[in-house]
Chain A
Amino acid sequence: MSVKKVSGNKSVSYARYGYLFILPFFVVYAIFTLYPQMLTIYNSFFEYYRDGLTIVGPNFVGMKNYVALFTKNSSGYIPLFKFLGNTVWLWLLGAVPQFVIAMMLAIFFTSTRLNIRGQQFFKTVIYMPNLIMASAFSMLFFALFSQVGPINQLLVEMGVIDKAFNFLGVRVTVQSLIALMNFLMWFGNTTILLMAGIQGIDESLFESARLDGSNATQVFFNITMPLLMPIFIYVLITSMIGGIQMFDVPQVLTNGIGTPNNTSMTLIMYLNNFLGTSKNYGMAGAVSVLLFIITAILSTFVFKTINKK
């Protein structure tokens, strides 16, 4: 505050620079994000798609696209719900171990009693998958786990199985592989963030708890966890927002069709399908609007945690 007072009088004459400096951001944002967003919403009220070389629409249809989104398909379910459910489930499968293990590692790394050596090495290694191109990682898993791939060769050679197993055709294994990839890509990142959170807690609190005779479990639940909560929630919700956008890994692994039986089809894959052959801007727009609502709700939580600080 005191700093602002110093510049108080003069800064008035500099106001135009403020506008000038933020101008590029807002111009670009308006053209490349805001306008397309509006257009997306606008589209969602129109019938507008390709049928080969014919363009159908745009014809105003009101809420018809939304109604269609909530209508049961030939298989007798509402695709939107099923794919949203898939997305949440796939996220959970990866996120639960991700947070449990990350929390564990964060405690290991920050424990003065354990005094882990080679922290830099371990951190470097566990963070690495986060930087790998998700589509390449997924393609790698596809190649490794295909029926003629090295994992099957290895299992057959070791006598674990006698015939190649179709990892990519079975729900349990496909979902597990997606979860494993998401886990590997994110647990290092989460570990580092939670570690920073724990390190931010006043050391004297731990000290006094130990003097009171608390054991490790008590320290964790009475001191670490409550004080870590804001950061934990922040990391959790950003992970959720990331999870809702899950695309690259299942898309490449299942070649876009969410094998088997659409059980690994995520919300964004569903959206992406509308943008392929049919260029169905109407339906894709409606899916986007719902995606926007979901992330908006989640974002409010993030927003609150940020603003608290």
Chain B
Amino acid sequence: MSKDINKSARIKLLISRIVVYGILIFLAFLCLFFFYLMIINSTRSNAQLKTGFTVIPGGHMLENFINAWNDGSINIPVGMKNSFIVSSMCAVLTTYFSALTAYGTYVYDFKYKSLVHIFILAIMMIPAQVSAVGFIQLAYKYNLTNKLWMLIIPSIAAPSVYFYMRQYLEATLPLEMVEAARIDGSSEFRIFNTIVLPIMKPAVAVQMIFSFVGSWNNYFMPALLLNKAEKKTVPIMIAQLRSADYSKFDMGKVYMLMLMAILPVMVIYIILSKSIIKGVTSGSVKG
């Protein structure tokens, strides 16, 4: 009898496992399918693309790449350069200054300390779009459109990164350590740069990645701010493909441009997926 129960339970488990794996595989397929199509299509010539659909690569990858790289209206090398400048600068500034600010409200006692902390939390959820109107108006008024630093400098004040850093500090930095360093005669900035920052390395790394990815993919503000061809970032160029009237006839090139737009982030993800996913989870400490 007990053997039978065991058996039926095992069969039940087997069935539910099959169903669960089935669901997982289907969802994984769904996630990969569209990108698979994109990669396949980026290897096919325009003529091949017009003839119909296949699952095998077309062998025109290099040709599409050269066409995409040299395209006259979508200057992707320049876009990637601009995006790279903005994203990496944002990643550095946002993590450094958020850590600095978090350290400031955590370690030091000053009059409005808790008020400052609560204020930053309160503004955390205000979307960037709310300040966009005024921001754009100022940019036009002072002739600051088409300046990349207009996208970089604001990243110094990033409430959610601050929040993350603050959480991390609370969990990892014993204040005695700061005390000890002071006794050793280190200056406050030195303590932060040489002792605290190294401790925060994991948090900084995670936030740098998210910040980089976030800026790389950002479309709304750059699209309002940048309209000069040599200043555009990648997302603007990609969106431009959608409205380009004459230049998009070569679909092979279009797929290649899209592939190039997401490739840097994909490479980062493939190398660092484990820590990125961990970062998402530790971000949930937020909740």
Q: Do chains A and B touch in the complex (CB under 8 A)?
A: yes
Give A contacts to B, CB under 8 Å: 3-4, 6-8, 10-12, 14-22, 24-26, 28-29, 32-40, 42-43, 101, 104-105, 108, 113-114, 116, 120-129, 131-144, 148, 150, 153-154, 157, 184, 187-189, 192-193, 195-197, 230-231, 234-235, 238, 241, 244-245, 247-248, 251-253, 255-256, 268, 271-272, 275, 279, 281, 284-285, 288, 291-292, 295-296, 298-299, 302-303, 305-307, 309
Assess the B129–A126 pair: CB atoms within 8 A: no
Cα–Cα, bound, A255→B114 (Å): 46
Given A17-B104, A36-B133, A126-B27, 15 other A-B contacts at CB below 8 A?
A: A6-B176, A21-B103, A25-B97, A29-B123, A39-B134, A43-B137, A123-B277, A124-B274, A138-B242, A139-B258, A144-B34, A196-B284, A197-B287, A256-B243, A288-B130
Task: State A116–B24 Cα separation when bound (angstroms).
Answer: 10
Alpha-carbon separation in the docked complex, A57 to B82 (Å): 35
Question: Are A247 and B220 in contact, CB atoms less than 8 angstroms apart?
Answer: yes
Among B16, B101, B122, B131, contact of A303 (Cβ-Cβ < 8 Å):
B122
> Which of chain B's residues have a CB closer than 8 A to the CB of A141?
34
- Please give, as numbers and ranges, the residues of chain B lying within 8 Å of A281 by CB-CB distance: 133, 137
Contact of B188 among A17, A136, A309 (CB under 8 A): A17
14 contacts between A and B (CB under 8 A): A8-B109, A25-B97, A25-B100, A108-B24, A138-B242, A141-B34, A143-B251, A184-B30, A192-B280, A248-B235, A271-B129, A285-B133, A302-B124, A303-B122
Q: Give chain B residues whose Cβ lies under 8 Å from the Cβ of A28.
A: 97, 153-154, 156-157
Which chain A residues border B163 with CB–CB below 8 Å?
A: 306
Q: Is B84 an interface residue (CB 8 A)?
A: no
Interchain CB contact under 8 A, A14 and B108:
yes
Q: How far is the CA of A21 from the CA of B108 in the complex (A)?
A: 9
Which 5 pairs of residues, A with B, have the shortest CB-CB distance? A21-B104, A18-B108, A39-B134, A36-B134, A234-B287
B32 at the interface (CB under 8 A from A): yes
Q: Is there contact, CB below 8 Å, between B219 and A40? A: no
Q: Which residues of B contact A143 (CB under 8 A)?
A: 41, 251, 254-255, 258
Contact A153 B53 (CB under 8 A): yes
Tell me, in angstroms, the Cα distance from A39 to B134 when the chains sit together. Answer: 5
Q: How distant is B7 from chain A, measured CB to nearest CB, in Å?
A: 16
Task: Return the contact of A131 from the options B100, B122, B156, B265 (Cβ within 8 A).
Answer: B265
Number of A-B contacts (CB under 8 A): 317
How far is A135 from B221 in the complex, measured between Cα atoms in Å? 13
Give chain B residues whose Cβ lies under 8 Å from the Cβ of A22: 100-101, 104-105, 116
Give every chain B residue within 8 A of A307 (Cβ-Cβ): 121
- Report the separation of the CA atoms of residues A19 and B112 in the bound assembly, to the nearest whole angstrom: 9
Chain B residues 73 to 119 lying within 8 A of chain A, measured CB to CB, are 97-98, 100-101, 103-105, 107-111, 113, 116
Q: Which residues of B contact A295 (CB under 8 A)?
A: 125-127, 130
Please give the distance in Å from A9's CB to the nearest CB on chain B: 10
Whole-angstrom distance between the alpha carbons of A247 and B122 in the complex? 23
Interface assignment of B175: CB less than 8 Å from any CB of chain A: yes
Task: Please measure, in the bound complex, the distance between the C-alpha atom of A285 and the C-alpha atom of B32, giving whole angstroms.
Answer: 40
State whether the Cβ of B72 lies closer than 8 Å to any Cβ in chain A: no
Contact indicator B280/A15 (Cβ below 8 Å): no
A292 touches B126 (CB 8 A): yes
Q: Are B175 and A3 in contact (CB under 8 A)?
A: yes
Measured between beta carbons, the chain B residues less than 8 angstroms from A113 are: 13
CB distance from B10 to the nearest CB of A (A): 11
B157 touches A26 (CB 8 A): yes
Residues of B with C-beta under 8 A to A309:
287
A122 touches B219 (CB 8 A): no
Chain B residues closer than 8 Å to A196, beta-carbon distance: 281, 284
Q: A295 vs B220: C-alpha distance in the bound complex, in angstroms?
A: 18
B265 touches A133 (CB 8 A): yes
Does B217 contact A134, Cβ atoms closer than 8 Å? yes
B-side contacts of A271, CB under 8 Å? 129, 132-133
Q: How far is the CB of B286 from chain A (nearest CB, A)?
A: 7
Does A131 contact B269, Cβ atoms closer than 8 Å?
yes
B157 contacts A197, C-beta separation under 8 Å: no
- Which residues from chain A contact B262 at a C-beta distance below 8 Å? 132-133, 136-137
Q: Does B56 contact A (CB under 8 A)?
A: no
**In the assembled complex, B261 has its CB within 8 A of some CB on chain A:** yes
Question: Which A residues touch B178, using CB under 8 A?
Answer: 7
Distance from B177 Cβ to chain A, minimum over Cβ atoms (Å)? 10
The answer to whether A120 and B274 touch across the interface, beta carbons within 8 angstroms, is yes
B273 contacts chain A at the CB level, 8 A cutoff = yes
Question: Which B223-245 residues have C-beta < 8 A from chain A?
Answer: 224, 234-235, 238-239, 241-243
